[in-house]
Structures are given as structure tokens and as C-alpha cells.
Amino acid sequence: MSQKGKSSGFQRVKRNIFRFVRFALIFFFGSSLFFTLLYRFGNPPITPLMLIRVVENIGDSKKTSISKDWVKLSEISPNLPLAVIASEDNNFETHFGVDFKAIEKAKKLNAKGKKMRGASTITQQTAKNVFLWPARNYLRKGLELYFTGLIELFWGKERIMEVYLNVIEMGDGIYGAEAAAQTYFHKPAKKLTSSEAAAIAAVLPNPRRWHPDKPTPYIAKKKAWILWNMKNVAKPEW
């Protein structure tokens, strides 16, 4: 093949790659915007984490089930949003998805050799749960920040909290406030007390290990701290 022919073939490959990348980017941004707007008004039927847990249980020959019952935020006790804000994201009402103050505090604690407090906001956790998969890498984190910005922009705080409280994992096969309230306290989420809400919030970092109705000494201590902090954080104005 002549030099001219090789050059022409190389140019065709470059054009094809460019077209593919352009199509992939248009598809990604278009679909992400579509589903973000869709879930502003419609409820996500299932999340990637739910599917991953099903596959994990099948692989481990465990019983597979998904217990969830979507309820409006108005049908959830105000104690629960307040408890998760007190536990997970004190500045939920004032930040735009990322809490830079919490990040700086976590860095300082880490530099002192103390246990680093997580700085992931409720908005970030919602973005991860609804659109992404549980992993620790730069790609996942970058996508998480992208979706965090989208849902802050298009959903607003009230919708973010509603989605968060309906999709968050709260036990093995248990998702959302209503399923958790019924499973652990045998009552609707609407009737959760401050103590029960704090107990649910206390186990969220690892809800398959801990259970709000049977707190370990560590969870009981954390629950007490959440109850105390619920008096200090700003109550949502919804």
C-alpha cells in the first residue's frame, strides 16, 4: 500500500473514532439529562445497588428479595429527615451537593491520625444510589459529582430527600423508610419517633451488619449522639 493510501486509511479510522466518541458523549449527556428530569417527577423503579445485591445473593445461594414501598415525603415522619441530616449531612440545606467544609474537616482529622469522618453528602449518596454503582475509583467519583450537580439543579432539596429516603439500603433486601419502619418497628414510616428515626440513621453506614431494633453498644452510642445533634441542626422548611 502506498504512503498516500496508508494516510487515507488512518484518517478514516480517526474520523470513525471521533464519530463514535461524539455519539457516545451525546448519548451519555442526553440520557443522563432525560433520566434526571424523569425522576424529578417519577419514582425510580429499581436501583443499580438493588440489582447488584440480588446477583450477590444468588451467587451466595441466599434468599433473594427486595422489600420496598415508595411513600411521599409527607408520609414519612419529620423525625427521619432530621435524623439523617444530623447523622449524615449537617449542612444539607445550605450546600449545593458538595460540603467543602465537611471535606476540610475530614482532611484535618485524617492528618491528625484520627478516624476520618465521611464527607459524602445526602445528595451525593442519592446520586450514587439512583444512577451509579458502589465502587471507589475516580471514574465513579467523577460521575457521582456530575449527577450530584444535576439533581441539585433540577430536583431541589425536598425531592432529593424524598428519593434518598425511599431508595437507601436499610437492611438485607430492605430499601427505603417505609420498609425499614415496618420491618424493624412494625409501624408506618409516618409514625416513627425521634428515637426510632435516630436508630435507623445510626445504622446507615452498614445496614446489613447493624439493625436499628437491636443496637450494639456502638450503635446505641451513635444513636444518642444523633438524638443530641437533631436539636442543633436546622430543621428542613418543607
Specify the CATH architecture of the domain 43-229: Orthogonal Bundle (1.10)
Cα dihedral 114, 196, 84, 168 sign: positive
- Which pLDDT score, from 0 to 100, does residue 2 have? 57
Map out the domains of the chain as residue ranges.
43-229
In the 8-state DSSP scheme, what is residue 116?
P
Rounded to an integer, the average pLDDT of 72-87 is 97
- Nearest 5°: phi and psi at 174? -110, 125
Write the pLDDT tens digit of every residue in 11-22. Answer: 777 788 888 899
What pLDDT band is residue 112 in, cutting at 50, 70 and 90?
Answer: low
Cα angle at 224 between 220 and 228, to 5 degrees?
170
The reported pTM is 0.89
The residue with greater pLDDT, 111 or 91, is 91
Rounded to an integer, the average pLDDT of 147-157 is 97
- Which pLDDT score, from 0 to 100, does residue 102 have? 72
Lowest mean pLDDT among 47-61, 80-94, 111-125, 131-145: 111-125
The H-or-E segment that residue 12 falls in is helix 3-41
Mean pLDDT of the chain: 90
